Each structure stands twice: as C-alpha cells, then as structure tokens.
Amino acid sequence: MPRRVHLHVGAPKSGTTYLQSRLHVNRRELSRHGVSYPHGPLGDQRVHYWAALEVTETDHGVDPRRVHGAWSRLLRHVRRASGDVILSHEVLAKASPEQAERVLDDLAATGAEIHLVFTARDLARELSGAWQETLKFGGRRPFARFLASAREGDSAFMEGFDPTRVLDVWAGELPAQRVHVVTAPPAGGPPDLLWHRFLEAIGVDPAWVPHEAVRANESVGIPEAHLLRRINRRLGDQARRGGEYSALVDGIVVGRVLGPRRSERITLGPADHPWVLERSRTWIEWLRERGVVVHGDLGDLLPAPPPEPWTDPDEPVPGKVASAAVEVIEALLEEVHARPPSPLDRARRAAARLRRDGA
C-alpha cells in the first residue's frame, strides 16, 4: 500500500515536460529511497500521458489501444507501491469535476494520503508558450487572434492555466496543507530553481536525483512561428496532432531545427499586458486566501512588462522565414538520406536499373 501519492496536474507550459523528464531519468534513484515514478515496459513514461488522456476523454490522435485502460494500468502501479508515488501530467488540468472525482476516489481507495501539486508560470509566458504549442500541432491562428480568444475565455488552454478553476476541481475536499503550488521563477532565473521547488513540494531530497533532464519542450522564435503557420496552412489536417506529418513537424522541424535557432522570443505586447496582469493579480489573491502551500513566490506569477521595443509576432519577416525554411529543408533531406530504403523503394530502383540496362 502506498504511503502518499503526489498528484501533479499541471498547469500546461509551466515546465512540466522538463520536470517529468528529470523524474524519469532519476526513477531508479528515487526507487532506492522509497519513491515510485511509474513507467511502462522498457521505461516508457507515456503511461502518465495515456492515463490522463483516458481520464479526461481527450483525443490527441494517440492509438486508442494505448489509451483504453491506461488509468487502470497506472493505478495498479500505485497499489503495488509501498512508499510515495508521483503521478504527473498536465492534461489532467482540464479535467471536469466528475473526472477528477473518479481519480481521487480511486487513489483514496488505495489508502494513500493524497497531495495535489500545481505548477504555475506567469500567464504571459504561459500564453506565448501555448500559442507555440498549437503551431507545433497544426495551428494556423495569428498570435493576436489566439490572445483575443484567451481573453474572452474561449481558449481551451485557459481552463488549464487558471489555478482557481483547477484547484476548485482537484482540491476542493483536500485540506490546504496538502495542496501545493509551485511557482516557476521569472525568465532568466537559476535553471534548477523550478526543480528544487518541485522537489520541496513532493518531499524529495535533491541528493537523491542527480541526473539532468534529457527532454524539454522547445520554444520557437518569431520567424520560426511564421514558418510553422505557413507549413500548417499547406499541409492542413496532415500536420494536426495525430496527422501523417505531425511527428516529423514536432520531432525534426521544431525539435531539431527551429527550436535551437534562438531567434527573437515571442512575448505579449502593450495591448495585452494589462488584462493579463489584472487576471494574474486576481489569481494570486485567490491563492493567498485559499491558504495553499506555496513553494516559491506568488510574485513570480506577475508578468514582466513587454520589452522595449516590442516586436509583433504577427508582423511578416520574410527574409528570416526564408532562412529558417532552408535549414528545415536541409534537415529533412538529411533525414531522408539517412533512412534505409523501403522494400518498395528497392523495387523501384531495381526496375529503373533494368530499364536502363535494357536500353
């Protein structure tokens, strides 16, 4: 029977991929200290993702055979544990009250003490990251339209960012001392600070987890965002999450080429900063009144002023986009050249040689 379950439910774009990667690479060290971070066969950590998709009934284009029964499989890991267990995926932030109740009831039935963990980054950076995430999986909307949708509450991402909604859903019945909010430090802060704050929330000694993360979500700059929107318009549904080309776009176009380019960052401008600042202040006040355990500083959730001068991410930058496109083409050609030919390719080449020899 597990002693405690630390349930990390988001928010999206708050460093979750980095935290999950670092938990995963240190899973053996954690196990030696009585802390379990469940994984599937051959160390596959997607069990958390698949379970979150099933619980929230979210379609990300994943093979339904992976998703069906994923929560029950993850729950078996929890039941078998004898110490602490860490469960983590940001998709859980969008759960409905009924979906969250199912998860909490299942975990309570194991006899474990449940602790909820919510990581948060300032809303301005979360929104810019969320827009980039939509572009990685087929989105085409300009940044201004995305922000207008978020301001009016129409963006699906907003329900996961809002701590008042997420904690009402997930922590309504939990005592305040078992509800943990971990704040991401401002841009330019120490790279390990979020990790150490998270470890404090789950009661893990940093000495137990010496290995660095091997994966984090890549951010793109302004010209790269323009290029992605053009690619998505051309490819249509094939670039959407689960589409024929989505893995290539995410893995090679973004992961290998566009993310590492380090172009000018995407930031909110003067027109959107005031409403984001006001909403952030409202959330911070709610968290203070709720009495949650804060790891970090709630002041970290206030967005920084827009840079001066500010560059509008929707303004065309054709020369820089062309340069990025050439690098993408080079990477894709290298990928094609490195892959072994398929049986059909070999047959076509053999037929071409026969025609050539016959001539």
Give the DSSP per-residue string, 152-184. Answer: TT--TTHHHH-HHHHHHHHHTTS-GGGEEEEEP
CA dist 196 and 190 (Å) reads 10
Amino acid at 347: A
Number of Cβ atoms within 10 Å of the Cβ of 172? 12
Are the CB atoms for 258 and 224 separated by under 8 Å?
A: yes
CB-count burial class (<10 Å; 0-12, 13-18, 19+) for 207: exposed
Residue labelled with tokens 């069990």 = 47
The pLDDT tens digits of the residues spanning 129-160 come to: 999 999 998 999 999 999 999 999 876 778 99
Are the CB atoms for 86 and 6 separated by under 8 Å?
A: yes
Superfamily of domain 4-218+266-308: P-loop containing nucleotide triphosphate hydrolases (3.40.50.300)
Interior angle at CA 291, CA 192 and CA 181, nearest 5: 25
Q: Which helix (H) or strand (E) holds 113?
A: strand 113-120
Query: SS3 of 56, please?
Result: helix
The pLDDT tens digits of the residues spanning 64-88 come to: 999 999 999 999 999 999 999 999 9
- Where would I find the H helices in 68-155? 70-80, 97-108, 123-136, 143-151
Give whole-number Cα distances, 288 to 8, 14, 26, 176, in Å.
20, 20, 33, 11
Q: How many residues does the chain have?
A: 359
Are the CB atoms for 147 and 132 separated by under 8 Å?
A: no
Two tokens at 11? 């928010």
Find, among 267, 252, 264, 268, the residue nearest to 224 by Cα. Answer: 264
Collect the ranges in the chain with pLDDT lower than 50.
none
CB-count burial class (<10 Å; 0-12, 13-18, 19+) for 17: middle
CA dist 12 and 231 (Å) reads 24
Domain ranges of the chain: 4-218+266-308, 220-264+317-359
pLDDT of residue 356: 67
CA dist 263 and 319 (Å) reads 13
